[in-house]
Amino acid sequence: MKWQGREGSSNVEDARGSSGGSFSGGSPMVIGGGGMGCLGIIVMIIFVLMGGNPADLGGVLGGDSSQQQTQDSGKSTSSTQDNPFETGNVKKEAEQVDTKTEKSLDERGQFASVVLKDTEDVWHEIFKKYNRTYTEPKLLLYTDGVRSGCGQASKQMGPFYCPTDQKVYIDLSFMDELDKKFNAPGDFAMAYVIAHEVGHHVQNELGILPKFHQLRNQLSETEYNKYSVAVELQADYFAGVYAKHAQEMGYTDEGDLEEAIKAAQAVGDDTLQEKALGRVNPDTFTHGSSEDRMKWFKKGYEAGDFSQGDTFKAMGLEL
């Protein structure tokens, strides 16, 4: 990926090296699942690799999957063009917070900042086409552990998105995990991770995440897992949309698309369950199979906009 020397985002907060990271308020989330050994930790890392919803921990192993809380305030209806996902025109108005931007990031921090800036450019452009306004998320870089608006999180959880404070949280050592543990090397594999987490923010902006979270106490675990899969596959679709625009802007190198697809394949629920448990249980899928994750990423790449991204409808679900 061609990222060196390009402009980064002003929405990066560097909390690396600080004790406990930064706390942005909001209700704490409950992280499901009980004690986990080395195998469980590996599965947990993989499980939340693309999730952005760390409260769903335990879903891969079939355990408890308590859902994080989301804000119900600060949203307004829109009378503009119909939402292409048929979930209503609920628009989340983000609180504008004056934060200090790290002026001197290391190489990995600068890479993440450039990718975030690219996602901002992409989603501003797409939202404008639908007569909507895109509110940019923050990206918080941390080391080992962080207290987010959704509660305490650790490095082992991997990257995640918190809708309460509208931030993406990443310990950048995760780039090593992608290469060594998930066999998904390459800078564009990490760009895919970031774009997927930003995809959850896009869902939050469109009012999709709040509706999804409201279903937690209305459905059985098996039925709720189906909605979770739809949410995650849609974030993969949005990552594909980002990849398409990055390619059109001339920022990708040969082989970048394959890096992202390989990462999507590596984190499919069936692949993870087979590797960790030696068996596959589709009823416990929360992120989608390897085939589906690759398919929806490619679909987003081919479409380049919202038009083909209704994963809920494709799965026969109503949100």
Count of structural domains, the chain: 1
- Tell whether 96 is covered by a domain: yes
Does 4 reside within a domain? no
Q: How far apart are CA 47 and CA 30, in angstroms?
A: 16
Q: Which pLDDT does position 5 carry in this prediction?
A: 83
Residue 24 belongs to domain spanning? 12-314
Measured CA to CA in angstroms, residue 71 lies from 85, 120, 135, 207, 253 at distances of: 21, 22, 16, 11, 39
Kindly state whether residue 2 falls inside one of the protein's structural domains: no
CB 183 within 8 A of CB 222: no
308 Cβ contact list (under 8 Å, min separation 6)? 237, 299, 300, 302
Question: Per the domain annotation, does 3 fall within a domain?
Answer: no
Per-residue pLDDT of the chain (319 residues; tens, 9 = 90+): 888 788 899 999 999 876 443 333 333 332 222 222 333 334 444 444 444 444 443 332 223 233 333 333 333 333 323 333 333 333 333 333 333 333 457 899 999 999 999 999 999 999 999 999 999 999 999 998 888 999 988 888 889 999 999 999 999 888 888 888 888 989 999 999 999 999 999 999 999 999 999 999 999 999 999 999 999 999 999 999 999 999 999 999 999 999 999 999 999 999 989 989 999 999 999 999 999 999 999 999 999 999 999 999 999 999 8
Q: Does residue 34 sit within a domain? A: yes
6 assigned to some structural domain: no
What pLDDT score was predicted for residue 157?
A: 83
Q: How far is residue 54's CA from residue 36's CA, in Å, rounded to a whole number?
A: 15
> What pLDDT is recorded for position 46?
44
Q: Cα(first)–Cα(last) distance of the chain, in Å?
A: 36
Best CA proximity match to 286, nearest among 88, 85, 44: 44
- Residue 85 forms part of a structural domain: yes
Question: Nearest to residue 62, comparing CAs of 102, 91, 107, 32?
Answer: 32
Torsional sign, CA 96, 97, 103, 104: negative
Backbone CA torsion sign across 264, 130, 1, 251 = positive
Question: Is residue 308 a part of any domain in this protein?
Answer: yes
